[in-house]
Amino acid sequence: MTRKSLVGRVALPSGQALTGFTVELTVDGRKHTAVTDGIGEFRLESPVCTPAAEYPSGELVVRLPDNQIVLREQYPLDGRYLGLTIPRDALPRAAPRRGALLLPQPPDDAPVEPLDVGDHGEILLPLIEQARTVGNQQIAATGNVIAAASGSSLLIWTVDGGEARGPDRLDVGAEVFDVAGDPLRTEIVLLAARAGKRKGRELLAVTGNGQLEQRWAGAGDWDILAVSPEDAAVAMAVAGSTAWAELDGGEVRVHDLGSAVHDLAFAGTAIVVATDSELLMLGPTGEVLERMQWPGQATRLTSADAGRVFGHDRGGGRVTRVLTGPGRRMIADTTIFVGSATAVGWWWERAVLLALLGDRIAWWRPPSVVLQPAPEQADIVFVGPF
């Protein structure tokens, strides 16, 4: 038996985080406790069996800040990200006139079970250590290729089934800041520095024959890139500043968001931006259409299919899918624990999430989710494999 952190989140069926709640786990008579943070998450140091062994179970108890129990159940310690949904009627409410708390109704007899994220696996990447030079490592995938960039190097593997062949090495000749997949043209797109120009940038694409083609070059110190899967529109940003830009017919149109930008991605044709504390969905002229609370300082965003984005919290080792739907609203849905992954990406043709882990790519196929018209009526459960 090994020891791992059991990571999870406590929320209402609407997805609203419950903060300041105490989570208790009792295993073999020993009690472990943690308090949920500002986004409802907790971390418990607890014994977790290896996959080859039989999973033990522990008693999980969730308490209000005043020590009142609102959930009690047995949970198998199988190392998954644990989502606990608390029925709204299990919480106390204020009594009319007196302001006293009424006793809540008992929790549901059958608590919501964790949602299995479906298929997942790994693909070994031969000679990936050649890409480990300087700079932040990035990945992208489209068609039958996976690309990894670091420093001025770009390695491209051709994937056949579950095996990767190659890689082919392209020397960009300048630092690569970000990469993205363009499923419309089946290309890998790069944002890189212009040789000899301190604040110059160029947009490059890896064509079907493996050659680099320049698509745009201009001034600026942009270091974040996003490509729309629907119309191949390009957006760029400067990490930590309030500036972001759209590339329109070779012209750069700069917008000021008024909040620090940590990353951006496309949800269909709409732009989603991670700031210090929120996710913002922007309209065609840069206006804010929707806001959602989000811990953004360590977040990288990835465009995905069906108008969705994934937020990668590099500090917490998790990736959370954000659904977008009618009315331009956003709802956090499935969370996958990816551990110490250095980069994540979306593989359009295979509809899987990729995470770069050492010398391999781990992939997950998240469950299909139909966004309901009324988000408060949908149970949202967070779970994913270690």
Domain CATH for 65? 2.60.40.10
Confidence at residue 131, expressed as pLDDT on a 0 to 100 scale: 60
Q: Are residues 127 and 75 in the same domain?
A: no
* In a domain? residue 78: yes
For residue 209, the model assigns a pLDDT of 83
> Measured between alpha carbons, how far is 331 from 263 in angstroms, rounded to an integer?
18
Q: Is the model more confident about 259 or about 198?
A: 259
* pLDDT number for residue 298: 67
The tens digit of pLDDT for each residue in 99-113 reads 333 333 333 333 333
In DSSP terms, 357 is beta-bridged to 360
Give the mean pLDDT of 279-292: 87
Q: Which of 52-56, 69-73, 162-166, 221-225 comes out lowest in average pLDDT?
A: 52-56
- Of 357, 376, 379, 353, whose CA–CA distance to 366 is shortest? 353
Q: What is the pLDDT of residue 342?
A: 86
- The whole domain housing 336 covers 120-368
* Mean pLDDT of all residues in 81-86: 78
Does position 203 have pLDDT exceeding 80, yes or no? yes
Would you state the pLDDT for residue 136? 74
Structure confidence at residue 326 (pLDDT): 61
- What was the pLDDT predicted at 378? 30
Strand partners, 234: 227, 247
Query: Are residues 76 and 134 located together in one domain of the fold?
Result: no
What is the radius of gyration, based on Cα positions, of the chain? 22
Q: Which whole number is the average pLDDT over 127-150?
A: 82
Q: Give the angle 263-276-385 at the CA atoms, nearest 5°.
A: 65
What is the token pair recorded at 76? 């198998």
Which pLDDT value is given to residue 253? 93
pLDDT of amino acid 231: 92
Q: Kindly state whether residues 314 and 273 are assigned to the same domain.
A: yes
Fill in the DSSP letter of residue 327. G
Does residue 251 sit in the same domain as residue 346?
A: yes
Across the chain, mean pLDDT equals: 79
Mean pLDDT to the nearest integer, 11-17? 71
Whether 350 has a pLDDT exceeding 80, the answer reads yes
pLDDT at 62 over 70: yes
Query: Is it the case that residue 313 has pLDDT exceeding 70?
Result: yes
- Token pair recorded at residue 232: 């191949």
| Chosen domain end from 75, 90, 105 | 90
**Is residue 103 assigned to a domain?**
no
Considering the chain, what percentage of its residues have pLDDT values greater than 90?
36
Q: Are residues 339 and 269 in the same domain?
A: yes
Q: Given pLDDT bands bounded at 50, 70 and 90, which one contains residue 320?
A: confident
Among 34, 8, 24, which Cα is nearest to 114's? 8
Residue 252 lies in a domain: yes
Confidence band for 37, pLDDT divided at 50, 70 and 90: confident
| Residue 375 placed within a domain | no
Number of structural domains found in the chain: 2
The pTM is what? Answer: 0.69
Task: Report strand pairing: 69-76 vs 57-63.
Answer: antiparallel
The pLDDT score that the predictor gives to residue 76 is 73
Tokens standing for 343? 């980069």
Q: Which residue has the higher pLDDT, 381 or 175?
A: 175
Give every CB contact of residue 97 below 8 A, 6+ residues apart in sequence. none
User: Do both 32 and 181 map to the same domain?
Assistant: no
Residues 276 and 355 in one domain: yes
- Note the pLDDT of residue 101: 36
| Mean pLDDT (whole number) for 316-323 | 82
Q: Which residues contact 375 (CB under 8 A, 6 or more apart)?
A: 14, 15, 329, 331
Residues in the chain, total:
386
